[in-house]
Structure 1
Amino acid sequence: MSNSATDRAVLPPTVWAARGRHTGPDSEQVIRRILRRRRETGAVDDFAEPADSPAPAEPADPGVPVAGPRVFEARWRVADGAVTVRARLTLTARQAGREWQLVAEAERPWDDAWPSPATVFWPDGDEAGDGGEAGWDYHPAVAGLRLRTVNPLPADDKDMRRVLREAAKDAWCVNLVVHEAMTPDTLGRQPLVRQLPPGLAHRVVEHRAAPQQFRAVNWAVRDLGVEVPRGGAVLLPPDPAPSGYDAREYAVRSVFLDGSESTELIGALRRFAALPRPAPQGAAEALADLRDNWTLMTLEEELARERERVAQYAEALEAMTRSRDLYREAAQRADEALTALRDSPAAAVPVSQPASPLQQLTRVFKGLRPPKENAGPNAGPTAMPEDESGKTDQ
C-alpha cells in the first residue's frame, strides 16, 4: 500500500462521495422513478438528466442495460432548508451490472446526520420492490460484498486475505472488520452499520470474522499494518493513508453484539470518516464535473452565472485591447525609427569602433540599389572615388 498522500487532492469537508454497483435490471428507470417520488414528496427540489447524457433508445430486451454512461443531477435542502445540496450520479456499464459514482456538495461542511445522498437516488427500506431495485448497494470492486449488511469473511484463509486487501484498496468505502468473540444470537447478527448516522451508513462495508477465524483474520490484515482485537473491531487504513495516520486510534477493544449501541465503535468510525483523506481515484474529477458542468440551476443561479461570464468576457476583451494598443504603439515607434533612419545622412563610423548591425544592414541595402537610368549595358566600370588629395587610388 502507498503511504504517500501528496499525489492526490483532499476532498473539502463539504463533499460527500460514495461508489457502488447496481446488479438489477433497468438502473436508469429505477433512479428516475425514485427521483420522481422524491420530487413529489418534496424531498428534492428538482432533478435532471444533463444534455451531455442523451436519452438512449429503448432496448429490445428490457432486462439488458443500455450501454454508455448516464448522468443524473438532483438538488435538495437540509438543516431545515438552510443548506442546499447539489449531487451528481454517474452510471457506467460494467460486466456485472452498472457501477454508480455519486458526489454531493453542500453549502457548509457535511453533517452525517443529514440524509444520505445515496437514498436520494436509490430506494431505501420499504421502497425497494421487485425487479432488482434493492440491489444497488454492492461493492464496486469486490464481488459479493455489500453495503448496509454483514459480510461474513471467507472460510479459506487465502480468499479472506484477498477479499480484505482488495476491499482496502478502494478508498471510496470505509472497511470495518469485526471479530465475533462467540457466535451471536439473532440480535448480534444484525449489521452494526444500522447504528450509524445516515451519512455514514452507505459508505461502510462491515466484514465479520467468526470466533474460530481470529488468527486467520489477523494474518490476513497483517500486511495492512493493523490488528483485530479478540471480540473487537478495527478499521482498515485508507490507501493512500493521510499524513500522521495511526491505525491504533481506530481499533476498538470490545464490541458487544447484543443489539446495544456500540458507542465507542461509532465514535471511531466518525473520527475515521472525518479524516482529511486524499480523494479516492476519480473523486476529484467527479467533483470538478459537478462544479463545472452543473445544469440544474435556479433562475438566480443562472443570472449569477451569466453575470460571471459577462465579467470574464469583459476582462478578456480588455486584456486583448491592451495588447492591441501595445502592439500598435510598438509598430508606430518602429516605423518612426525606420523613417528617421532612412532620412538621416550616413554617419562615418570610426575605424577603432566596429559598425553596429543596423549600420552593416544599411550598407548592404545601399549596395543593392539599382543602377541609374542613363547607365547603359555597355557602361564602363564605375570610377573609383578620389582620396582627400583628389587623386585616385593606384
Structure 2
Amino acid sequence: MAKNSIPSTTAPVTAWLGRGRHLGPEAERDVRRNLIALKAARVVDDFLDLDPVEAARSTDLFPRDESADPGPSARRVFEARWRVAEDVTVRAQLTTYEPESRRAERGGTPWVLAAEAEQAWEADWPSPATMFWPDSDQIAWDHERPGVRLRTANHLPKDDGELRRLLRDCAQQSWFIHVVVHEAMTPDALGRRPVTSFLPPSLKHRVVEHRATPDQALTADFAMKRELGVGLPRGGAVILPPTPQAPDYDAERFTVRDVFLDGTEPTELLAKIMEFASMPRQLPADAERVLTRLRQGWHLLTPDEELVHARAMVTQYAKALEAMTASCNLYQEAAEAALAALAEANGGDHPPRAAAPTTAREDVSPIKSLTKTLNVFRRPNR
C-alpha cells in the first residue's frame, strides 16, 4: 500500500486530475463501451483495460516506486492515449475501486483519473473525464460525493450542521474548485442552468457549483464566514478557498457581487473561475500518488516507446549481469583466500577434506556433527 508521508508539491501545469463516484451498477462496462466507441471514431488513439494485478506488475528489472501500485482495493485500471492541438499527446489513467465498506456501497464506485499532456494544459482541450465516461446525463459517473454532482447546480443543505460539514469537506477533502452562487430570487428554467455549463471543456469537470436559495442568504453567509472566512454576497457568488490556502488567494478577488441567473453567460464569474484555476495549487498526497502512478505505472506504449523501453531493458540487464559476474569473482577470490589461510593454519598440509557421507540408517545428532567439524579445524597440540 502506498505511503501516507509523501510531501505535498505544486500541481504541474501539464496535468489534469479528477476523482468521483459512479452510482450505476456497471461502472467498468460504461468506461469500456465509451473507450471502444471513441477508438472506433478515432478520438482516442488507443486504450488498455488492465487487471489491477497486471497493472501493478513491474516489467522493469528494478522495482518502481510503490506509489505506482493501484492498491489492494482497485478493481480495474484503464489507460488511454489521444492527441490534442493536432500533435500534442495526452496520456491518461483511470482506476476504479471497491467501496470502502458495505455502508459506502450506496455511494457508488469510487474512481480516480490522472491525465498529463506533453505541454501546459489548455482549458479548451477536451475533458479527460469524457474520454473514459460517457458525456451523458443518463450515466451518473460525476458524483463528487453522495448528493453533490459536477454537471449540475447543487443546492446547499437546509440543516445548519450539514451545511457547515459540507463546506468543511469541500474545502479540505476535494480535488475540485467549489463555487457557491446565491439565487437572489427563484430562477426560471434558464436560470437553473448550471453556471459550469458555460466553462471551457477541460474546466467543466473540475468545478462543483453550489446554489443557495433566496432564503439561505444569511445562513449560508454566516456558515461560510465561520468555517472558511469568506462571505457570500446576496445575489452574488464566491469561489471557496483551497486547503492549504494558496498565498495568492484573496476573498475579495474571487467574489462576484452580482450574478444574473437568467440563462445568459455570467462572464465576470467565469473569468474569476478561470483565473482561480490558473493559480498554482498544492497537490493533496492522494492526488500526488495518482499522478506518480500515471508516470511510473504506464503500460500503453507506442511502437517507438516500446523500442526505447526494450533498449533500456537490455542495458539494465547487461549492467545487472556485469554486477553479478563481478560479485561471483569476488566470492571466488574470497574462497581461495580462505582455503589458503586454512592450509597455513594446518601447518602447510592440504586442507581437510569433508568426511564421507553417513548412511541413511546412521543416527547422528546435530551436536555430534558440529563437534566433528570443530575437531577437524583444531590445531594439534605439540
Bin for the TM-score computed over the shorter chain? 0.7 to 0.9
Q: Which residue of 2 aligns with 1:144?
A: 147
Quick one: which of 174, 189, 192 aligns to 2:195? 192
Query: Which residue is equivalent to 1:391?
Result: none
Q: What does residue range 232-271 of structure 1 map to in structure 2 within 5 Å?
A: 232-271=236-275
In the alignment, the residues of structure 1 paired with residue 236 and residue 174 of structure 2 have an alpha-carbon distance, to the nearest angstrom, of 23
> Contact 1:10/1:277 (CA < 8 Å) preserved in 2?
yes
Aligned residue type for 2:131 = V
8 Å contact kept, 1:47–1:296: yes
SS in 1 for 2:253: helix
Asked if 1:92 corresponds to 2:97, the answer is yes
Q: How does 1:373-384 map to 2 (within 5 A)?
A: none
1:287 is aligned with what amino acid? L
Aligned residue type for 1:50: L
- Secondary structure at the counterpart of residue 241 of structure 2: coil
1:313-332 counterparts in 2 under 5 A? 313-316=317-320
- The code of the aligned residue for 1:168 comes to A
Q: Which residue of 2 aligns with 1:120?
A: 131
Q: Work out the CA distance in 1 between the residues paired with 2:334 and 2:305.
A: 43
Which residue of the other structure, out of 166, 173, 190, is the alignment partner of 1:163?
166
* Between 226-235 and 15-24, the greater mean CA deviation after superposition: 226-235
Q: Deviation at 1:93?
A: 2.2
Give the corresponding residue for 1:352.
Answer: none
Deviation at 1:46, TM superposition (A): 1.1
How many angstroms apart in 2 are the aligned matches of 1:178 and 1:169?
19
Q: Which runs of 5+ in 2 are unaligned?
A: 1-5, 56-72, 100-104, 341-377
In the TM superposition, what is the alpha-carbon distance from 1:370 to its structure 2 partner? 5.8
Q: Secondary structure at the match of 2:144?
A: coil
Cα contact 2:51–2:75 (8 A) shared by 1: no
Alpha-carbon contact 1:53-1:70 (below 8 Å) kept: no
* Structure 1 residues 180 and 326: CA distance shift in structure 2, 3 A: same
Change (3 A) 1:333 1:136: same
Q: For residues 158-186 of structure 1, what are the alpha-carbon distances to aligned partners after superposition, in whole Å with 9 as ceiling and x for unaligned?
A: 22222222222223111100112222222
Aligned to 2:114: 103
How do 1:1-394 and structure 2 match up within 5 A?
Answer: 7-52=7-52, 69-80=75-86, 82-94=87-99, 95-96=105-106, 97-125=108-136, 133-140=138-145, 143-222=146-225, 223-316=227-320
Q: Which has the greater radius of gyration?
A: 1
Q: Following TM superposition, by how much is the alpha carbon of 1:42 offset from its aligned partner in structure 2, in angstroms?
A: 0.7
Q: Letter of the aligned partner of 2:128 in structure 1?
A: P
- Superposed CA RMSD: 3.0
**Separation in structure 1 between the aligned mates of residue 174 and residue 23 of structure 2, nearest angstrom:** 21
What's the CA shift for 1:241?
2.1
Structure 1, residues 213-239: CA drift from partner, whole Å, max 9, x if none?
A: 111111111121211122211111112
Contact 2:7–2:285, Cα closer than 8 Å, also in 1: no
- The alignment partner of 2:252 has SS state of helix
After superposition, the C-alpha distances for 1:241-278 in whole angstroms (9 at most, x for unaligned) are: 23443333221222121222222211211122222212
8 Å contact kept, 2:259–2:266: yes
Can you list the C-alpha shifts for 1:308-366, whole angstroms capped at 9, x where unaligned? Answer: 22333445556667788899999999999xxxxxxxxxxxxxxxxxxxxxxxxxxxxxx
Alpha carbons of 1:328 and 1:268: their partners in 2 closer, same or farther (altered >3 Å)? farther
Distance 1:270 1:328 in 2: 67
Correspondence for 2:67:
none
The CA deviation at 1:100 is: 1.1
- TM-score of the superposition, structure 2-length normalised? 0.75
CA contact (8 A) 1:165 1:221 kept: no
**Pair 1:7–1:227, CA change in 2 (3 A):** farther
- Displacement of 1:282 after TM fit? 1.4
Deviates more, 1:101-110 or 1:220-229: 220-229
**Separation in 2 of the partners of 1:179 and 1:231?**
5
Per-residue CA shift, 1:184-209, capped at 9, x if unaligned?
22221110000001111011110011
Once the 2 structures are TM-superposed, how far is the Cα of residue 297 of structure 1 from its aligned partner?
1.2
Shift, 1:99, TM fit: 0.9
Report deviation, 1:20: 0.9
Q: What is the CA-CA distance between 1:281 and the residue it aligns to?
A: 4.0
Give the letter for the 2:79 counterpart: E
In the superposition, the TM-score normalised over structure 1's length comes to 0.73
